[in-house]
Amino acid sequence: MRKALIIAVMAIAAVSCGNNASKTTRIPEDPRVEQLLKKMTLEEKVGQTVLFTSDWTVTGPSMRSGYLEDIKAGRCGSLLNAYTADFTREVQRIAVEETRLGIPILFGYDVIHGFRTIFPINLGMSCSWDIDAIEESARIAAEEAAAAGLQWTYSPMCDISVEPRWGRISEGSGEDPYLGSLIAAAMTRGYQGDDLSKDNTILACVKHFAAYGAPQAGRDYNTVDMSERWFREFYLPPYKAAIDAGALSVMASFNELDGVPAHASKHLMTDILKGEWGFEGFVVSDYTGINEMIMHGYAENEEHAAELSMNAGLDMDMMSAAYMNHMTGLVKSGKVSEKTLDEAVRRILNIKAALGLLDDPYKYCDPEREKARTLTAENKAFARKLAAESMVLLKNNGILPLKKGEKVAVLGPMANTRDDLLGSWRAAGEVEAVPAGIEDAIKEVTPVTSSSNKVVLVLGEPWGWTGEAASRTSINLPKEQTELLKALKKQGKQVAVVLLNGRPLDLSAESELADAILEAWYPGTMGAYAVADVLFGDYNPSGKLSVTFPRSLGQVPIYHYAKNTGRPYIHPDAKYESRYLDCPNEPLYAFGHGLSYTTFEYSDIVIGDARSESGMTIKADGTLTVRTTVTNTGSVEGTETVQLYIRDLVGSVTRPVRQLKGFERVTLKPGESKEVTFTIDKEMLSFYRQDMTWGPEPGDFKVFIGGASDNTKEASFRYEI
């Protein structure tokens, strides 16, 4: 019997953003894989590198009829967009019983923020800063998906983005590489658990490799170009964190980088991923990404595209049919070596073995388990809690929380939508039976007549306005929505705006008008209830923005990780400083911002401690503690996310004004205080120096601690070698 595959996920104490040695999962070699490889014809090998969609769901520009014929003929080794225990069992039976070698199919699906129980969209979840809860959401998603015949999700999406026009910013974890890395690793652990062969874990797929979140002008699929340094420092860390956490598949991105489409980038797939990081899983293309290289102007034709991709390290072709149509010929003509093809097939078969499919191809196809494990009361309760945690109270003049029994009118174009609550990539998700969305989850609803009425005004973007192929040139709410808010204010109403949307919006007008703004994102299956929980104070909001909200699209890209420039804007009337004539430099709501129904006070930072002789200096491999005492100064219990930022004042290359380097969520009763301690080490001070080596440089640093990137206490220290 095959040795149980234990994924040796090494405990990662701190997520490194650097290029230091990888802790990549090693896949034990399964002797059956080599035996299979020896038996396989060239055509059968190629078949294992082919992934087609079923006709159940449309997630790309082309469909393929006859996929069952392809499977029967050994032309297709994996299938996406098909699920349920019954259906996958039937497809699996065809692969196992009707093909010569009986190699099982790998079933994949976009389980992005839940499968049947849908959690908030990923951008929303990232605003919880609750890494354990995000891991748990992935665990639940895996359990539900695995029970429905799936073994593979196309998640975590690790694309850092500072581009609110880009609709897919909703699918990621915001703008920060450190927070994004923690979340990427947590989701990977959640999906894969500690043993891929269990019937409640699934294979993670790190996507979109790489830098897909930086399309020019925010238009989906558009060109990406940046320095290697910025790429490695800002965009690459979350992908690596997921690989270090054990992720065993990776999806190439649609964009080009430095003139080379990612689907043919040897630099990305072979040099960085499989080389530097020692990645042992397989790389899959994105949907028709291989033959799109013809339109990119990089490949002459489909055959050329297949040759370029395979030789660059891309193991599996999703939907291009380029490998199916041309790989046999390419190997025969010597343009692709059989060794290269074998290596791709070996990687894919190793994963099938690791998932336990070679032991029992039907292990994920159990209708009883499917019924018992999906949309359970516990899963829904958890989704409700995580949805509440993800919401960010952007503004509040005291109108919230609503009082129990208080009559409120619930209005607005998004008040009675059910569909929008799920956002994009809703998998097989459902909305808990709220007949009319948020309106119905708030019990004390009254018509908006009396002049004393408070109004909950639910505004936002229909869900299709974010997600794939959903870029916008405006990040404002639709005009009529702002007009409605204006009209209500004219009537003297107190208005709490609830937002359902999937990108940072320009809320300049609304923030002037509204008494409160609650950013609820697309909150998922239990979202309507979670909104009510927050509005009535059953859950005291604790979310913090993982992405900056600008005052105007003209400020974009605007993010906390920015550099100082040689002419920072310091003097109010200065002309020759880095500023706008018609808009402040500061965002409307900064990264890390988020209010609570209580208030928190921070003590000054205490730096160094009695146990350390170094005082205000870190020496070489030493550490330095920085501490603050946080006090709940309000009248209700609340959770605060205490954030640590560092600035390196002088470097061999310029450094950002603020880099997030740690955070801790603390829950405090009214009047309660807690000391929060962070330990700074040299890894936290490291960066790609001028010669592209990774490490710290001696000199002066600043440390900032607070409840938002623009609301911190600060202190200084030195690093010496």
With H, G, I as helix, E, B as strand and everything else as coil, classify residue 96.
helix
* Residue that has been written with the tokens 């020692």 in this structure: 278
Between helix 302-312 and helix 322-332 the angle, nearest 10°, is 80
DSSP code string of 169-238: GGGS--S-HHHHHHHHHHHHHHHHTT-TTSTT--B--EEEETTTT--GGG-TT--B---HHHIIIIISHH
Taking the complex as a whole, how short is the minimal distance between the CB of residue 281 and ligand BGC, in angstroms?
16
Concatenated DSSP letters of 615-671: TTEEETT--EEEEEEEEE-SSS-EEEEEEEEEEESS-SS---S-EEEEEEEEEE-TT
Residue with tokens 């990232």: 126
Residue 154 as a binder of ligand BGC (CB under 6 A): the answer is yes
Residue 527: which of 680, 688, 651, 418 has the closest Cα? 418
> What's the closest the beta carbon of residue 293 comes to ligand BGC, in angstroms?
15
Residue 110, interface with ligand BGC (CB under 6 A)? Answer: yes
Residues in Cβ contact with 572 at an 8 Å cutoff, skipping those fewer than 6 apart: none
Q: Closest approach of Cβ 468 to ligand BGC, in Å?
A: 6
Strand intervals (E) in 360-430: 392-396, 408-411
Binding track, positions 461-480, relative to ligand BGC; x by CB under 6 A = -------x------------
Task: Note whether 76 and 47 are within 8 A (CB).
Answer: yes
Q: Residue 368 is inside which H or E element, if any?
A: helix 367-373
What is the smallest separation between the CB atom of 154 and ligand BGC, expressed in angstroms? 3
Closest approach, Cβ 106 to ligand BGC, in A, equals: 14
Q: Are 89 and 69 in contact (CB under 8 A)?
A: no
> Under the criterion CB under 6 A, does residue 159 sit at the interface with ligand BGC?
no
Q: Restricting to residues 65-104, which ones interact with ligand BGC according to CB under 6 A?
A: 80
Residues 6+ apart with CB under 8 A from 499: 458, 459, 460, 505, 517, 518, 519, 520, 521
Q: Which is nearer to ligand BGC, 348 or 427 (CB)?
A: 427
Is 604 in the active site? no
Identify the residue whose tokens are 């690459």.
236
Between 125 and 485, name the residue whose CB sits nearer to ligand BGC: 125
Among residues 143 and 171, whose Cβ is nearest to ligand BGC?
171
Residues 244, 206: Cα–Cα separation, whole Å: 11
Catalytic residue among 244, 286, 366, 515: 286
- In the bound state with ligand BGC, the residue whose beta carbon lies nearer, of 158 and 388, is 158
Helix intervals (H) in 418-472: 437-441
What per-residue string of b and e applies to 365-377 under the rule 16 or more CB within 10 Å gives b?
bbeebbeebbbee
Give least dist CB 218 to ligand BGC, A.
16
Cross-strand bridge partners of residue 317: 50
Identify which of 561, 707, 585 has the alpha carbon closest to the alpha carbon of residue 176: 561
Q: Measured from the CB atom, is 59 or 603 closer to ligand BGC?
A: 59
Q: Where are the alpha helices (DSSP H) in 115-176?
A: 122-126, 131-147
Tokens representing residue 246 in the block: 């054990």
Cα–Cα distance for residue pair 548/592, rounded to 1 Å: 8
Choice between 286 and 510, CB closer to ligand BGC:
286
Binding-site size for ligand BGC (CB under 6 A) equals: 9
Residue (60 or 478) nearer to ligand BGC, CB: 60
- Amino acid at the residue 242: A
Q: How far apart are CA 194 and CA 522, in angstroms?
A: 30
Residues in the chain: 721
Verify binding: residue 209, ligand BGC, rule CB under 6 A.
no
Taking the complex as a whole, how short is the minimal distance between the CB of residue 440 and ligand BGC, in angstroms? 32
Strands in 27-171 per DSSP E: 50-53, 78-80, 106-109, 152-153
Among 60, 462, 557, 634, indicate the residue that binds ligand BGC (CB under 6 A).
Answer: 60
Of 524, 502, 171, 521, the residue nearest 379 (C-alpha):
524
Contact call for residue 207 and ligand BGC (CB under 6 A): yes
In the complex, minimum distance from the CB of residue 207 to ligand BGC, in angstroms, rounded to a whole number: 6
State which residue, 159 or 515, has the beta carbon closest to ligand BGC. 159
Give 233 or 286: the residue with its C-beta nearer to ligand BGC. 286
Which residues in 248-307 contact ligand BGC (CB under 6 A)? Answer: 286-287
| Shortest spacing between CB 634 and ligand BGC, in angstroms | 42
Please say which residue, 149 or 706, places its beta carbon nearer to ligand BGC.
149
CB 675 → ligand BGC: shortest distance, Å?
Answer: 43
* Contact residues for ligand BGC, defined by CB under 6 A: 59-60, 80, 110, 154, 207, 286-287, 468
Which residue numbers are catalytic?
286
